[in-house]
Every structure is written in C-alpha cells, then in structure tokens.
Amino acid sequence: MAPILPPPAGGRTGFGGRDIWKSFNITSFRAQVGPTGGSRGYERVTGQSGWGISWWINEELIPVLHVERGKTYTFVVEGGVDASNSARYHPFYITDNSKGGGSKEDPAVLSKKPCVAGTGRYCEWTHKTVDKSDESSTWEDFKQTLNLQCDVGQPGTFTWTPDKDTPDVVYYQCFTHYYLGWKIMVTDPDQPERGRGKDRMESGRGEDRMESGAGLTTALLPLLLLGVIVSKAA
C-alpha cells in the first residue's frame, strides 16, 4: 500500500502536480503507471505532450516530491519487468534530465558510474470503461473512474539519499521512454520548501514548463542518478 497522504482541499479541477511536502513526513514513494489525465493532466502541468501514460506516485498523478538532503527515501517501483514488451516496461530512475528516456541518450553524456534502478511487477491505473477525464468535474471524480490492476509478482525497491551534490531540482522519469514523470524539489534541512505544483493541481494552471533538453528485481544501468542509491528487497 502507498503511504497515506493528508487529504487535500476537495474539488480539485486540475489533474496532477500535487505537492507532497516535506512536512507530510513521507519517506516512501510507490511508483505505478496510469493515465495522463487528458488535457487537464500531464500536458497542462508540464507543458509537454506525454507518452500516453504517466507515473503515479502514492496514487497521485505526477506529484511534485519534496525531499531533504541527508535523508533517505525508499522508492517502491511497479513499472514492469518484461524488457521485451516496451509498453509495459518502465524502469524508474532519478535524473537531472527533465525528459528522461536515458536509454535513448548518448552514453557519453550519462554518468559512467553504475547505479541501481528499480523494476518490479507491472501495476497500472486503468479506465473502468473509457477515458472520462474531460467529463469529470474534479480530480476525485476522475479517480472514481479508474481501477488499479497489478500483475502477479512483487515490486522492486531502491533507496535514495540526496546529498550536497544533488541539484535543487531533479526529475523522476522512465529510463526507456520520454516524459512520464515530473519534479523532485531538493532542499537543505533548514531551508524553506519551494512550491512547484499547488497552483496547477488546484486551479489547473501550468506555469512551470519542462526544460528542453521479475518481482524484487533491479537492473544495473549506466545512468545519471543523483545521490547514493542502494538496492533492497521489498
């Protein structure tokens, strides 16, 4: 189960981009796949057309994660393990590249340090019938039109500790496809949090834009991950 988030203000007409603040004391993030939320979701939040699906973290569509340097966070990943089926294989990773898709980038621009990225069984939020994002009045109404479906198997996990070398803004993304995720805001312990998602989630505005530019298994990948990453079983 995903950690319980404090209930947000009701009646949210925008889909996606909720801030998961440090003050919520959430140190575990569960990553699953789900719909983009139509014209009021991924595209409106990020300013980019998505791949057709998006990362859902703790049952929220592409939330903004707020983390603290020196604190360790656990990511539970359910993005698929079958590399032969690209539509259901989404290794989760953290990068300073806003669009993700590290497998498509020139290896010369990626970190040469081997890092661990989580893979695990495939879980997807699917439409009960058809996409009703345009018909749904609020985010809460839209979620009622979805079902969570998970393959047999176990999730994968990894831990991440942002440090002094971690940029203030990084991104959680898919290693095999572009534009599935969104932002992680990194601050020092005594530093105020910087909002990047509240306005869009509550009002549907999208001022922030992206810059150009099997069970329990993990994959060693030569990609750019920020901080110290350690693999462990769920």
Q: In degrees rounded to 5, what are phi and psi of residue 109?
A: -95, -5
Domain 19-232 carries which CATH code?
A: 2.60.40.420
The C-alpha angle with vertex 85 and arms to 147 and 228, in degrees rounded to 5, equals 85
The predicted pLDDT at position 164 comes to: 93
d(CA 154, CA 84): 19
Which single residue is written with the structure tokens 């497998």?
A: 103
How confident is the chain (234 residues) per 10-residue block, as mean pLDDT? 75 89 95 95 91 94 97 96 95 91 74 60 97 93 96 94 93 93 95 62 36 37 39 40
Task: Give the residue from 55, 60, 80 showing the smallest Cα distance to 150.
Answer: 80
The predicted pLDDT at position 196 comes to: 56
The predicted pLDDT at position 145 comes to: 97
Which single residue is written with the structure tokens 């020196």?
A: 70
Q: Are 121 and 233 in contact (CB under 8 A)?
A: no
Region class of 117: left (phi > 0), else alpha (psi between -120 and 50), else beta: beta
Q: What is the pTM of this model?
A: 0.83
Q: E strand or H helix at 174, and its extent?
A: strand 169-174
